[in-house]
Amino acid sequence: MLELVHVGRSIGLGTVKTALGAGLCAVDVTGMSLLARVGLGAVIAALVPALWLVDWGSLMVLDGVTDVIARLRTGDSRPGLAMILSADGVRVSPRYPGSRSLADLTVGWDEVTGAAFRRGPAGSLWFCLDTPSPLPAPGPDMVLSARNLPVERVPRLVTLWINTVIGRDDPPELRRLLANMFWFGTPLAVNLAVCPGGSPARVDRFLARHTPGGIRCVSPEREWWRPPPLTRYLSPIGARSRNSAGRDPDAPA
């Protein structure tokens, strides 16, 4: 069984990201300083690798600092939304840990039709499993309006829509499932970025082992530790031509 529970950004991991990124930048600056003593030719020869290291390090630092700030601002989000994966199926619990509530939803793998990463509140990527659901969903125009609103006004719009579907006295767990329906069109959705131990690679291995063929978890975003591709510096002309044809050279095939 694999439990994916919304807890919050990890301060420890954010600190590690920041330290590793700062270390890469420090190594780069130190190396270039030593090469400057050798001569201008050595500096020019090492310019592309130096830019690559600075780019990689700065991405790590930015990722780590934003993780720490987000956790300090929002705190620990327990009791949180959880997606529990097992060999029999998937369960979504809008209030977890704790006793099983009436709003918990359990679906067998034979009812899951696919998986995808979709943009949710504040533009974050959520892992979604598609399945037929009796819960209502808003029209595409309302979702588009929510994405175009200032961030501080979005929760009110979502709340107003939920109030048109259920009463104010209905359990808050059901409101959480309806919020998933609003953003993703499925109640089976979880933000892996705030689930400790819930990396896309780990979820993908679980799905490959326990689910029917065709259900995979491949995130369109780069893992925090992966370096940027050297093609951004070595082939700028080729990259521009591919972009002009409508393909991102850094996107997975």
Residue 26 has pLDDT above 60, yes or no: yes
Which 3 state secondary structure label does DSSP give 58?
helix
**C-beta separation of 191 from 183 below 8 A:** no
Tell me the pLDDT tens digit for each residue of 9-25. 889 999 999 999 999 99
180-218: b (≥16 Cβ within 10 Å) or e: bbbbbbbbbbbbbbbbeebbbeebbebbeebbeeebebe
- Work out the pLDDT band at 244, boundaries 50, 70, 90: very low
The pLDDT score that the predictor gives to residue 97 is 64
Cα 224–chain centre separation: 11
Mean pLDDT over all residues of the chain?
Answer: 84
Tell me the pLDDT tens digit for each residue of 67-109. 999 888 877 665 578 999 999 999 998 887 655 566 689 999 9
Q: Give 89's strand partners.
A: 108
CA diameter of the chain: 74
Picking from 3, 12, 17, 84, the residue whose alpha carbon sits closest to that of residue 224 is 17
The residue count of the chain comes to 253
Picking from 114, 117, 112, 137, the residue whose alpha carbon sits closest to that of residue 127 is 117
Residues in contact with 155: Cβ distance below 8 Å, sequence separation at least 6, in sequence order: none
Q: Strand order of the sheet with strand 125-130?
A: 114-119, 125-130, 189-190
Which 3 state secondary structure label does DSSP give 190?
strand
Task: Name the region of 68 (left: φ>0; alpha: ψ -120 to 50; beta: rest).
Answer: alpha
The pLDDT score that the predictor gives to residue 151 is 82
Residue 127 has pLDDT above 90, yes or no: yes
The single residue listed with the structure tokens 């990689």 is 56
Torsion angles phi and psi, residue 221, rounded to 5: -95, 150
Average pLDDT value for residue range 63-69: 92
The pLDDT score that the predictor gives to residue 250 is 34
